[in-house]
């Protein structure tokens, strides 16, 4: 399958939820899917998985800064030559995402990282321990957020 076919297939999978999603093609090899409701995330991933498009390459979180109330989380699936990005928005405060571990066990480390670095709760994660940050790291401080203040650490 070349990139074109993969993306067509992917859009057909995604379009079964089309009452809640919009898709765009920023470049010929990429398909961006805006997932508007969190409940749909797991079913879409299952759908991709069933069609063997479910190789999760990375989870990226974008924090626009404290003025914005929301952060954007990108799930990058990279089957073959194509890139499928599921874009989900979560609130900055008390945001939560469903865990993909049931579908993709390898997602666990990405989700733990997401939780540690950005403070996004992952519901259904089995081991929510620290993965990267030191043991004596202060609670509720998320280093990858734009408004992270390193002075918190020196006070510690």
What secondary structure letter does DSSP report for 51? T
- Using CB under 8 A, pick the residue from 38, 46, 96, 144 that binds another protein: 144
* Residue 43 or 106 having the CB closest to another protein: 106
Among 16, 102, 130, 138, binds another protein (CB under 8 A): 130
CB of 134 to another protein, least distance (A): 4
**Tokens found for residue 44:** 């879409």
Alpha carbon distance 83, 57 (integer Å) = 9
User: Is residue 38 close enough to count as binding another protein by CB under 8 A?
Assistant: no
Contacting residues for 126 by C-beta, under 8 A, at least 6 apart: 101, 108
**Token couple for 128:** 């929510």
CA distances from 18 to 33, 35, 66, 147 (A): 10, 10, 31, 35
- Comparing CA positions, the residue from 54, 94, 48 lying closest to residue 71 is 94
By CB under 8 A, the residues from 94 to 113 that bind another protein are 104-110
Residue of 46, 74, 89, 121 that binds another protein (CB under 8 A): 74
The residues of the shown chain that bind another protein, judged by CB under 8 A, are: 3, 26, 29-30, 55-58, 60, 62-63, 74, 76, 78, 80-81, 83, 85, 104-110, 117, 127, 129-137, 143-144, 146, 148-151, 153
């Amino acid at each position: 399958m070349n990139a074109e076919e993969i993306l067509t297939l992917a859009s057909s999978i995604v379009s079964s939820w089309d009452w809640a999603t919009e898709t765009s093609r920023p470049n010929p090899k990429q398909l961006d899917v805006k997932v508007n409701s969190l409940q749909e995330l797991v079913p879409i991933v299952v759908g991709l998985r069933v069609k063997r498009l479910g190789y999760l390459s990375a989870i990226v979180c974008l924090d626009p800064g404290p003025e914005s109330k929301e952060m954007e989380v990108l799930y990058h699936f990279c089957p073959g030559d194509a890139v499928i990005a599921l874009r989900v928005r979560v609130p900055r405060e008390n945001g939560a995402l469903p865990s993909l571990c049931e579908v993709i066990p390898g997602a666990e480390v990405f989700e733990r990282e997401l939780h540690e670095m950005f403070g996004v709760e992952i519901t259904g994660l089995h081991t929510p321990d620290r993965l990267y940050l030191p043991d004596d790291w202060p609670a509720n401080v998320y280093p990858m957020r734009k408004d992270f203040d390193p002075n918190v650490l020196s006070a510690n």
